């Protein structure tokens, strides 16, 4: 899948955000019962954003180069964009102003020894490091045990998005909230594409998933974007059963583009007990030949 030019991305993103808002959601009267457009009309968005209709039409056609931050803020408010969507809009505008880029610094493909030490020091919680493409670059012992179904695929680096979309039967068995998690993964990949449209490996990944998965094509076409943040993951683990885990995703300032993810469970809960059981089981296992050793980088 080739990287789209900024004008096309702007047009598709703004059109999709406009289409999801009914007039009553925006505090506007819905005159007549035979509206020919889904969601808001362009003139209604222009009214809410405080710009002329002609100006908004030019913006939705892909011309954000001359839009000030104030206009973009007003547009984000009119379209009821959340934090991730607002960030995405501003990035598209910056790309429109400087076609081609500055190129983003490439994320590391190996994990520094000090970060491996951090992973090794986290012994009671699954912890792993990923990049924006969902490539798993390093894991501690408990994370390898937790994500053993993901690591069953011999392809390296292991990639969570591939597992979700190219092995959907196993992924549905593993993730209780499969549909939400799969949708979030596609939305985070689109967010990453907005950050670094020149990432050839990301373009190749999106192309592979689009070719092989109808569900991914649908989720990608939705234009949704998400930030890497805290959340809850509910799993059916093949060894210990149900796990309801709290996940923190922490940016690594010294390694732009990488995130440290850590799963925990509240003390005294069944999940905490099952996580301790999983840790005991993992300690008895010989490290599998996964290419991701405890705390090791994977280029």
The domains located in the chain, with CATH, are: 6-97 (1.10.260.40), 113-283 (3.30.450.180)
Mean residue pLDDT across the chain: 89
pLDDT in tens, 134-173: 999 999 999 999 999 999 998 999 999 999 999 999 999 9
The set of residues, in sequence order, having a beta carbon less than 8 Å from that of 143 and lying 6+ positions away, is 119, 126, 127, 128, 263
Mind listing the pLDDT tens digit for each residue in 230-284? 899 999 999 999 999 999 999 998 888 899 999 999 999 999 999 999 999 998 8
The model's confidence at residue 177, banded by pLDDT at 50, 70 and 90, is: very high
Residue 262 three-state SS? strand
Place of tokens 């924006």: 132
pTM comes to 0.85
- Mention every residue, 6+ apart, whose C-beta is less than 8 A from residue 187: 84, 219, 222, 224, 225, 226
Burial class (CB in 10 A: 0-12, 13-18, 19+), 26: middle
Q: DSSP of 159-217, one letter per residue? A: BHHHHHHHSHHHHHHHBTTHHHHHHHHHHHHHHHHHH-TT-HHHHHHHHHHHHH-HHHH
pLDDT tier for residue 285 given thresholds of 50, 70 and 90: confident
Contact 240, 277 (CB under 8 A): yes
Task: Summarize pLDDT for 5-62 with one digit per residue, the tens.
Answer: 788 999 999 999 999 999 999 998 876 566 777 899 999 999 999 999 999 999 999 9
What does the pLDDT look like over 215-227, one tens digit per residue?
Answer: 999 999 999 999 8
- Return the pLDDT at 110: 77
> Which pLDDT belongs to residue 2?
47
């Amino acid at each position: 899948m080739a990287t789209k030019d900024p004008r096309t991305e702007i047009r598709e993103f703004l059109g999709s955000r406009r289409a999801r808002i009914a007039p009553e959601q925006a505090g506007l009267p819905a005159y007549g019962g035979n509206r020919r457009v889904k969601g808001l009309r362009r003139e209604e968005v222009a009214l809410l954003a405080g710009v002329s209709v002609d100006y908004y039409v030019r913006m939705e056609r892909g011309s954000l180069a001359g839009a000030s931050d104030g206009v973009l803020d007003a547009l984000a408010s009119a379209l009821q964009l959340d934090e991730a969507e607002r960030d995405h809009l501003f990035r598209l505008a910056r790309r429109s102003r400087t076609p081609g880029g500055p190129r983003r610094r490439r994320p590391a493909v190996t994990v520094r020894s000090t970060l491996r030490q951090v992973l090794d020091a986290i012994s009671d919680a699954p912890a792993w490091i990923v990049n924006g493409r969902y490539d798993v670059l390093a894991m501690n012992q408990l994370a390898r045990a937790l994500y053993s179904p993901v690591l069953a695929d011999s392809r390296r680096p292991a990639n969570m998005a591939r597992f979700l979309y190219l092995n959907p039967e196993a992924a549905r068995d593993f993730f209780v909230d499969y549909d939400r998690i799969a949708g979030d993964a596609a939305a985070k990949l689109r967010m990453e594409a907005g950050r670094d449209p020149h990432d050839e490996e990301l373009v190749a990944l999106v192309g592979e998933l689009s070719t092989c998965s109808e569900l991914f094509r649908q989720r990608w076409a939705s234009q949704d974007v998400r930030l890497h943040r805290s959340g809850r993951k509910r799993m059916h683990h093949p060894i210990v059963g149900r796990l309801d885990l709290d996940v923190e995703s922490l940016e690594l300032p010294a390694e732009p583009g990488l995130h440290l993810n850590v799963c925990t469970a509240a003390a005294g809960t069944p999940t905490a007990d099952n996580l301790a059981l999983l840790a005991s089981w993992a300690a008895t296992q010989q490290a599998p030949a996964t290419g991701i050793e405890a705390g090791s980088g994977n280029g």
